[in-house]
Chain A
Amino acid sequence: MSITTTGNLGPMILQSLAPAMLYVPTPTMNYITVCDKVSMPTNGGTTCRFMRPRALVPPTIQLGNSGIDPPAQVPQRDIIDAQMAFFGTGCIINEQVILQDQEGVLAWVSERLAVAMRQAEDLILRDYIVSAASEINAGGGSNGFNPTNLGMSDFSLVATTLDTNNAYKFMSGIEGMDRFGTGPVRSAYFMLSSTELQSDFDSLVGSGFLNQWNYPTNASALPSEFGSAFNIRVLTSSEAPVARNAAINNVGVSNDVYYNTVLGKQAVTHIDQDGYSMNLIYRDPYYSGMLAQNATLAVKFAQAQAITQDTAIRNLLCTRLSNLGV
Chain B
Amino acid sequence: MAEYSKLARGKFTSTGGAQIVNLPFQPDYVELFNFTAAGTAITGAAAQNKVPHAWWDAYMGQGTAMEEVYVGATPSVLQYDTVAANGISTFAAGQLLQFGPTLTVTVLSKNSPAAVTTATNHGLTSGDVVIFEGLFETSTTGMPQINGIPFTVTVTGLTTFTIPWNTNQSNYTAISVGTTGTPRVKKVLYPYLYFPGQTFISAITTGATTTIDTTSAHNFVVGQEVAFRIPSQWGTVQLNSLPNLLTPGSPVYGYVIAVTDYNTVVVNIDSSAYSSFTSNPTVASVPGLSYPQIVAVGDVNTGGVSISSGSVLYPAPQYSPIGTTLVSTINGPAIKGAFVNNTSQGFIVGIGAGTLATSSILAGTAGDLIIWHAYLHDYSNP
Contacts and interface: CB of A to CB of B under 8 A. Distances in A.
Nearest to B191: A131
The size bracket of the interface on A is 35 or more
B339 A81 contact: yes
Interface in A20-42: none
Nearest to A255: B133
Interface in A42-62: 46-47, 49, 54-58
Contact of A49 (B193, B195, B335, B340): B335
A128 B148 contact: no
Contacts of B184: 248
Given A83-B338, A148-B287, A307-B297, 15 more contacts: A46-B331, A55-B249, A57-B247, A81-B299, A83-B341, A127-B194, A131-B198, A135-B229, A139-B290, A146-B288, A148-B288, A165-B242, A241-B97, A288-B3, A294-B3
A140 B288 contact: yes
Which among B133, B246, B287, B334 has the greatest number of chain A C-beta atoms within 10 A?
B287
A80 B298 contact: yes
B298 A81 contact: yes
Which among A248, A250, A294, A304 has the greatest number of chain B C-beta atoms within 10 A?
A250
Contacts of B341: 83, 85, 124, 128, 304
Contacts, number: 174
A96 to B, nearest CB: 16
Interface string B239-270: 00111001101110100000000000000000
A85 B184 CA distance: 36
Interface residues of B, number: 64
Interface in B172-212: 181-182, 184, 193-198
Contacts of A132: 194, 196-198, 295-296, 339
A171 B164 CA distance: 43
A45 B351 CA distance: 40
Interface in A114-135: 123-124, 127-128, 130-135
B249 A166 contact: yes
A145 interface: yes
B139 A251 contact: yes
A125 to B, nearest CB: 10
B286 interface: yes
B288 A310 contact: no
Interface in A238-268: 241-252, 254, 257
B354 interface: no
Contacts of A251: 139
